[in-house]
Structure 1
Amino acid sequence: MQTRNPRKRLMLAVTVALLAPGLAFGQTAKEKELEARIAQLEAQVQALLSAQQQQQASIAQTQTQLDEVKVAQAPAADGKPKIQSTPILTAGNPNSTFSYGGFIKFDGMLTDTSDGAIADGSSGRLFYVPSTIPVVANGAEPDSDPYTDFHAQFSRFWLSADHVTDNGDKLKGYVEMDFFGGGSNALAGNEVATNTYAVTLRQAYVSWNNWLAGQTWSNFQDTAALPDAVDFVGVTEGATFVRQAQIRYTKGGFSVSAENPQTTVNTIATAARTNGTGSNTMPDLTARWVTKGKWGHFSAAGLLRQFKAGDETASGAAVSLSGKFNLGDSDDIRWMANYGDGLGRYMAFGLGPDTALDANGELHAVTGMGGFVAWRHVIGPKLRSNLMYSMAAFDNDKDLAGWNLLSEAATERASSIHANLIYSPLPKLDVGVEIGYGKRELEDSREGDLKRVQATVKYSF
């Protein structure tokens, strides 16, 4: 025990010094043995204390490391887990959230077309495009042997950077790409050796609260109504399907946009198609209203367009109704119906034109209609099926000046039916097979059909 008085400490030291020789002299052998045991016990206690201190230090270090891991993996304010504690977007806004995803998709197809093969390298060899179904002249005997195509061009990846300011403003930058765009050069892009294909832009936009600017799906299109197909779209004829640059404003379930304009033209006299004149002045204008609930969703969209070819102009308008109705936990119906003047490039991948140019040089909007219905049934936790029907038709006005036998080659109608089974043996892994039949009919009653069996393996990440 320590004493706080220096004089008392000095007196105690002197007393111990005077008594020590006598105490040492008076120790017995038994007392010495006891002191030796005490010293041994003290050494053991000291060793135990040292080991305990080392153990506590190791536990503290481990706890610190665990706390650091928990902080790195803790959900952000938006509920998404952090990838790391240090910034990934070094040039971006502080505390931005970076995300990355996509899928790898393999497609294998066996195709049989009644009026000859679809040209190798055509998009119709990679997915269902009704305008590429061959229709030969009357009396011709086309080669209709089946043919096989394998590819992985629809594999996709995307990157997103999201930021919320201190004032609650939401900023988002999004870029999405795939490999459906042909080879980077004639040698590398062929199917003889390397099958090398270029990265192509699908979407690239920035959004700020209710505003969006950049390339994304047209506001006239309801992507949520598209069915669960093995093919890229499946219900191609009746689906609106356009990605393009635009400026969009969204408030609740209502949205409006001004989008990139292009006019496709069929010249009556020659039946030649011009895909995009590039001379439009007014952007395409759209408006959409969507309502949602546990029952599904319903969407109504409108489209206003100006068409221009040279000095000639025309106008058109179209409507699109679509939605998804849930039928219990295992079934839903997805559907779409489109009608209007100048639907052209917005529906069926441009199966019909926006306009027709007559022999007098006057431009006329072409009336079109189309739609689809699809039934999705969940068979079990890992297996689902889909049955789809789709159609499109165009009113090619035969009374226009210059209509002739060449004009009769215009597409009047196309339709298709698809059925598939999709199995998911593991999370995010889909293995599917789909059978499809499609038919294209011309104004002169000629027609050609397509039969296809398609298999896919898709892993999403």
Structure 2
Amino acid sequence: MLNIKTKALTAAVVLATAPQAFAGYEFDLGDGNKLSFGGYIKADARYVDGDLKYQDYWRGNNPGFEDTSHTHFNVKETRFNTKYTHGDVTAFIEMDFYGGDGNEVATNSTNPRLRHAFVKYKGWMAGQFWTAFTPLKAFPDSLDFGGPIVGEVFVRQPGVRWSGGGFTISVENPETWGGDTPTGGNSAGGGSNNIDADEDTPDLIATYGFKGDWGEVQVGVLGRALEQGGIDETAVAGNIGGKINIGKDDIRFQLNVGESGRYVGAGMVQDVVIDPVTGEKEVEDTTAFTVAYRHLWSDSWRSTAYYGEATTDVLEYDRSHWGVNLIKQLTPALSVGGEIGQYSVDDDLGENGDSSYFQLSFKFGI
């Protein structure tokens, strides 16, 4: 017999901070088989004013300089997921709607985008998920999608990993971005420029997690083989990040150092760059961090203040993002909140500017 359960939704603290959406409904298919369905609907109203072009959310890139005063409504962060469980086997798939824009004149259509798709068996996982280099507990409770992405490890990609005893070892999709390499055939799905089409060594990641009543912290090391037009180097980076509980409140943080390239800032800096002084290709070195403090005012009100910044060595980029929000949990599944903040680009070798924003968000967990 098919049984359907509606999972109890906990307070906003869980709903709004999970790096992937929870499953809200569970179907018992019998014989140890279960099918879960979940996600959330999120509606954002966003106003941006300043020197940088409007973006639906701030990441580590330079969006371009222009006088901006722009209001935009969207539901692109809305996501759906399904999970199938059969004994020790779990299969999970999730999508949101940041895949591409339709026109705003009539339909405001947006395309679905694959976020996660993986299979887990005991300690093994194969498929697409957040890179193992990401300290998931470090993501802040923000209304701007991802919060201070500029300072975060923010990559989802295919790979194979093993986890056990606090350790995770992962081999993941290699991709060298930058220099003057023309777009390769393997970029057909994304259309990015300067992607290397010939890579044979997977990215290697090792992490170890500490956890207890006090919170959870992960340390990680990333190693990559960068082979691109005269560059043949091993790039190494490290990070530490997590969440520290302070009563009902918490502090979330991460620190990233080394040759992380595309792994930090979701497009802030390429792996291989052209030194503007010497004209030579160099592997870029990045230092990035985020810190966020979340305070529970009551069972239904909470706030988070966060800051993230990243700097690079060769191109001398310096970009930052801060935000402060206030969120009201109207029901166990429905929240509404407002957030103010500012994103800044301060590149020593280029223009400087910033844009401030206000965002109002409604979020309903399915």
Which of 189, 205, 228 pairs up with 2:141? 228
CA distance in 1, matches of 2:346, 2:179: 17
Return the match for 1:388 from 290, 300, 306: 306
Does the Cα contact within 8 Å between 2:178 and 2:272 map onto a contact in 1? yes
Residues in 2 aligned to 1:280 and 1:81: alpha-carbon distance in whole angstroms: 40
Structure 2 CA distance for aligned equivalents of residues 161 and 305 of structure 1:
33
1:261–1:283 CA contact under 8 A, matched in 2: yes
Equivalence for 1:283: 202
> How many Å separate the matches in 1 of 2:349 and 2:231?
28
Quick one: structure 1 residues 84 and 265, their matched pair in 2 at CA, closer, same or farther if it must change by over 3 Å? Answer: closer
What are the superposed Cα offsets for residues 398-452 of structure 1, whole Å, 9 maximum, x if unpaired?
Answer: xxxxxxxxxxxx5611012100001111111110110011211123363010110
Q: Which aligned pairs between 1:38-117 and structure 2 lie closer than 5 A?
A: 72=3, 94-114=31-51, 117=53
Q: Name the Cα RMSD after superposition.
A: 2.6
Asked if 1 retains the 8 angstrom alpha-carbon contact of 2:91 and 2:118, the reply is: yes
Partner of 1:292: 211
Partner of 1:174: 92
Q: For residue 83 of structure 1, report the CA deviation from its aligned partner.
A: 5.8
1:161 partner letter: Y
* Deviation of 1:81 (Å): 11
Q: Does 1:349 align with 2:266?
A: yes
Report how far residue 232 of structure 1 moved. 0.6
Counterparts in 2 of 1:361 and 1:334: CA distance versus 1, 3 Å? same
Which stretch shifts more, 446-455 or 377-386?
A: 446-455
Picking from 74, 79, 84, the partner of 1:156 is 79
Identify unmatched segments of 5+ residues in structure 2.
7-22, 182-191
The correspondence of residues 259-338 of structure 1 with structure 2, limited to 5 A, is: 259-267=172-180, 274-310=193-229, 312-329=231-248, 331-338=249-256
Deviation at 1:278, TM superposition (A): 2.9
CA contact (8 A) 1:246 1:257 kept: yes
Aligned-partner Cα distance in 2 for 1:171–1:423: 37
Partner of 1:460: 365
CA, structure 1 residues 428+412, in 2 after alignment: closer, same or farther (shift >3 Å)? same
Structure 1 residues 442 and 382, CA, compared in 2 at 3 Å: closer, same or farther?
A: same
CA distance in 1, matches of 2:29, 2:91: 20
Q: Distance in 2 between matches of 1:74 and 1:217?
A: 28
- What's the counterpart of residue 56 of structure 1? none
- In 1: Cα distance, 2:320 partner to 2:112 partner: 32
Paired residue secondary structure (2:64) = coil
Scaled by the length of structure 2, the TM-score of the pair is 0.86
TM-score by length of 1: 0.69
The number of aligned residues is: 339
Q: Give yes or no for contact 1:309–1:363 (8 Å, CA) kept in 2.
A: no
SS in 2 for 1:227: coil
The one-letter amino acid of 1:228's match is: D
Tell me the equivalent position of 1:195. 108
Give 1 or 2: higher strand fraction.
2
C-alpha separation in 2, matches of 1:448 and 1:84: 51
1:206-225 to structure 2, matched below 5 A, reads 206-225=119-138
Percent of paired sites with the same residue? 32
SS of 1:380 mapped into structure 2: coil
Shift of 1:323: 1.5
Amino acid at match of 2:117: A
Alpha-carbon distance, 1:312 to partner: 3.8
Greater helix share, structure number: 1
